[in-house]
């Protein structure tokens, strides 16, 4: 993006003239959810919108995937029963999920899915036109489908093409800094957005750009910048901190998903990567002292094969499967990497334990599957290529290139998805009027969710937000009122950048990125898959102190666009970490125990069992930090909300618990629904044109 800004008007703000672009709706993010909202708005005839993005080709949905990335939807094949209500109950059963979200996501799944099909996403159908499916985790039916390893990328590309056909303008190179609001308390609402342009600073200050708008569809993705060990692409950061500063509430922030992923490149090693039955080996940091640690720990060859195969279906870490199930593998990888400081690899060149795979040792499920597809022999890489050639080819085409025929694949336990996020209602509007978080930015999931449900939620939520915006006459504030509201926001950003610049000019080294990396390492070490009351509270105190010191210690060369951007990225991640940690600490205060994808160490808990034989002396000991007690669903009927309030130093996080909203009952007779539908359409038609 150059210095000429389409449609911008210079407005006096904070002692200087700043460019302001006016549009009733701004969509932040160019991933699958952001483009879905844009396409839906255009289809509804809404034209007063622009899109804003940090990097147009960045983001999770464009750059993430798995062996066959899953999209979850209502059953559209076969003679098995399914219904909107049954799908809603499946989603709701994950715990801590609001029932209206479950019903809306179920009801909207077919419409959202068919829009993608119509746009050209190649979801497989049989010769009779049925969209066939398979069973994914937490799925009682076969609702899952896939367009291959790059399902979400294909979605983005097709949605983007339609958005371009509709002439929707995209402002690229714009990093979110803050949301501009007007009003107080419950009357507070969106008035605009402050971004930092990726262009040369002018007049000794950062290159600010303001958007005056009445609605922001916030498709910024999950808070990918929180963890060092991450399956998110390097291009994804999230922008939850700006929403918290504006007064938006978070919901279920405690609920993350962790899973095995390759480190270079970042990629989930689920599905056929596990069903091919690779060896798990570890080495010291220098690459020596290779050990087949998984076989050493588990010992029982048939059980080793069974757990590895099941890990493909049950990819995210699940504490309910940690005692004697497939998630035991995640704990053993954590022990090698975090507790022992070693490196872990998947070895597709050789079979586990023995030179040849011994099919008779496989359990029925694994044997039947591999026999059916003709993959009961050969090496793991031969099985992988037979099962899923694109999964093998993926690593050849990435940098650095990894050839699984000859190379080991380094893996770790990584943060993969945040089931929580910003709190929204059934139209995906937050408590801050005019702010519509969609995609992973929205906290619509509970403790568990079926694999692929996030892609469905992103499409349905984006459509709901777009329909609300198009159906309501949300008005822009006058330009003078906007300038008044934007003044303190710009001034605060100017002050932070200015103080960072003065320290740089005094000879201090730039440190925004250093601060950021430090927080990420803390989170991965202390608040990842295995955590404790002590580790959570120590990390919360450290992050609180870091956030309080940040304005007085951050350093950035004012002539460097990158280091100035790092200042505001570090600030966003620090505040996000502070709110998330406060939510986790509050969960523990309310008696929360291990659930979902988090093991909370408990000295009174039980250790997972490595061997299930009759001889207790055969048990291999595990560290006491793996002792845990299950939550037992005690808090699954409740939802936790968290919000940040400004104050001295770091400010504070407020927290509240409420009963989750039930699944709504049917609306009644067809004639009543039809009448209400006609009235709503007529009311929308009478509103002033956008």
At 2, the pLDDT band (50, 70, 90 cuts) reads very low
Spell 233-260 as b/e; 16+ CB within 10 A means b.
bebbbbbbbbbbbbbbbbbbbbbbbbbb
pLDDT at 1: 42
Tell me, what's the pLDDT at 689?
Answer: 41
Contact call for residues 390 and 148 (beta carbons, < 8 A): yes
Is omega for the bond preceding 265 within 30 degrees of 0, making it cis? yes
Per residue in 617-653, pLDDT (tens digit) is: 555 679 999 999 999 888 999 999 999 999 989 999 9
Q: Helices 453-471 and 99-119: crossing angle, nearest 10°? A: 90
Report the distance separating Cα 525 and Cα 229, nearest Å: 9
The 10s digit of each residue's pLDDT in 183-221 is 999 999 999 999 999 976 655 679 999 999 999 999 999
pTM (two decimals): 0.96
Q: pLDDT of 387-431, one tens digit each?
A: 999 999 999 988 789 999 999 999 999 999 999 999 999 999 999
CB atoms inside a 10 Å sphere around CB 402:
22
pLDDT of residue 620: 60
pLDDT tens, position by position, 93-137: 999 999 999 999 999 999 999 999 999 999 999 999 999 999 998
* pLDDT at residue number 612: 54
Residues 465-496 pLDDT 10s? 999 999 998 899 999 999 999 999 999 999 99
Integer Cα distance of 184 and 178 in angstroms: 17
pLDDT of 690 reads: 37
* Proportion of the chain in helix, strand, coil states, percent, rounded to 5: 40, 20, 40
| Domain range list for the chain | 258-416
**Residue 434 φ/ψ region, left for φ over 0, alpha for ψ in the -120 to 50 degree band, beta for the rest:** left
Give exposure, 489-518, as e/b (b: 16+ Cβ within 10 Å).
bbebbbebbebbbebbeeeeebbbbebbeb
Res 72: pLDDT? 97
Q: Do residues 230 and 257 make contact, with C-beta atoms less than 8 angstroms apart?
A: no
Cβ contact 433:189 at 8 Å: yes
Neighbours of 412 (CB within 10 A): 23
Architecture of the domain whose range is 258-416: Alpha-Beta Complex (3.90)
State the virtual CA torsion across 31, 215, 191, 455 in degrees, nearest 10.
Answer: -30
- Nearest by Cα to 338 from 533, 535, 603: 535
pLDDT of residue 680: 76
């Amino acid at each position: 993006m150059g210095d000429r800004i389409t449609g911008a008007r210079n407005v006096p703000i904070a002692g200087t003239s700043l460019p302001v672009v006016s549009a009733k709706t701004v969509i932040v993010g160019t991933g699958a959810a952001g483009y879905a909202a844009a396409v839906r708005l255009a289809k509804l005839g809404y034209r007063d919108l622009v899109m804003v993005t940090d990097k147009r080709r960045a983001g999770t949905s464009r750059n993430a995937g798995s062996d066959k990335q899953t999209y979850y939807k209502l059953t559209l094949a076969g003679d098995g029963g399914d219904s909107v209500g049954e799908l809603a109950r499946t989603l709701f059963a994950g715990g801590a999920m609001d029932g209206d979200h479950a019903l809306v996501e179920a009801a909207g799944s077919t419409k959202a899915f068919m829009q993608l099909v119509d746009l050209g996403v190649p979801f497989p159908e049989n010769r009779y036109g049925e969209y066939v499916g398979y069973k994914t985790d937490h799925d009682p039916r076969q609702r899952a489908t896939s367009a291959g390893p790059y399902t979400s990328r294909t979605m983005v590309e097709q949605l983007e093409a339609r958005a371009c056909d509709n002439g929707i303008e995209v402002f690229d190179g714009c990093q979110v800094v803050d949301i501009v609001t007007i009003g107080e308390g419950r009357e507070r609402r969106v008035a605009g957005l402050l971004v930092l342009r990726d262009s040369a600073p002018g007049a000794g200050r950062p290159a600010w750009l303001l958007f005056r708008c009445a609605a922001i569809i916030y498709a910024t993705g999950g808070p990918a910048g929180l963890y060092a060990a991450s399956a998110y692409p390097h291009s994804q950061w999230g922008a939850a901190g700006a929403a918290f500063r504006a007064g938006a509430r978070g919901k279920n922030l405690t609920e993350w998903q962790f899973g095995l992923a390759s480190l270079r490149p970042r990629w989930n090693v689920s599905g056929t990567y596990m069903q091919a039955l690779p060896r798990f080996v570890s080495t010291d940091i220098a690459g020596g002292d290779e050990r087949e640690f998984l076989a050493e720990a588990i010992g029982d060859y048939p059980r080793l094969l069974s757990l590895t195969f099941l890990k493909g279906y049950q990819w995210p870490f699940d504490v309910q499967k940690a005692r004697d199930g497939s998630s035991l593998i995640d704990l053993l990888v954590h022990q090698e990497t975090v507790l022992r400081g070693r490196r872990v690899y998947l070895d597709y060149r050789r079979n586990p334990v023995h030179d040849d795979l011994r099919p008779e040792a496989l359990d029925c499920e694994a044997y039947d599957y591999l026999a059916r597809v003709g993959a009961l022999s050969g090496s793991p890489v031969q099985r992988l290529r037979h099962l899923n050639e694109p999964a093998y080819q993926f690593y050849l085409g990435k940098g650095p290139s990894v050839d699984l025929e000859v190379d080991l694949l380094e893996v770790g336990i990584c943060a993969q998805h945040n089931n929580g996020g910003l709190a929204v209602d059934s139209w995906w509007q937050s408590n801050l009027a005019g702010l519509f978080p969609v995609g992973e930015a929205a906290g619509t999931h509970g403790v568990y969710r079926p694999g692929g449900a996030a892609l469905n939620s992103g499409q349905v939520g984006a459509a709901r937000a777009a329909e609300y915006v198009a159906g309501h006459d949300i008005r822009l504030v006058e330009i003078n009122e906007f300038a008044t509201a934007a003044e303190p926001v710009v001034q605060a950003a100017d002050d932070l950048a200015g103080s960072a610049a003065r320290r740089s000019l005094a000879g201090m080294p730039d440190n925004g990125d250093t601060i950021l990396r430090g927080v990420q390492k803390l989170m991965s070490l202390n608040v990842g898959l295995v955590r404790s009351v002590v580790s959570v509270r120590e990390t919360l105190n450290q992050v609180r102190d870091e956030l309080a010191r940040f304005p007085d210690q951050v350093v950035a060369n004012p002539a460097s666009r990158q280091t100035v951007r790092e200042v505001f990225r570090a600030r966003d991640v620090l505040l996000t970490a502070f709110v998330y940690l406060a939510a986790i600490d509050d969960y523990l205060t309310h008696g929360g125990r291990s659930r979902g994808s988090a093991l909370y160490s408990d000295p009174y808990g039980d250790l997972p069992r490595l061997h299930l034989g009759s001889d207790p002396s055969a048990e291999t000991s595990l560290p006491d930090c793996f002792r845990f007690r299950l939550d037992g669903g005690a808090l699954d009927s409740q939802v936790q909300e968290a919000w940040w309030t400004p104050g001295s130093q770091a400010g504070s996080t407020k927290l509240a618990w409420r009963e989750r909203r039930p699944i709504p009952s049917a609306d009644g007779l067809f004639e009543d629904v039809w009448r209400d539908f006609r009235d709503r359409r007529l009311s929308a038609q009478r509103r002033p044109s956008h």
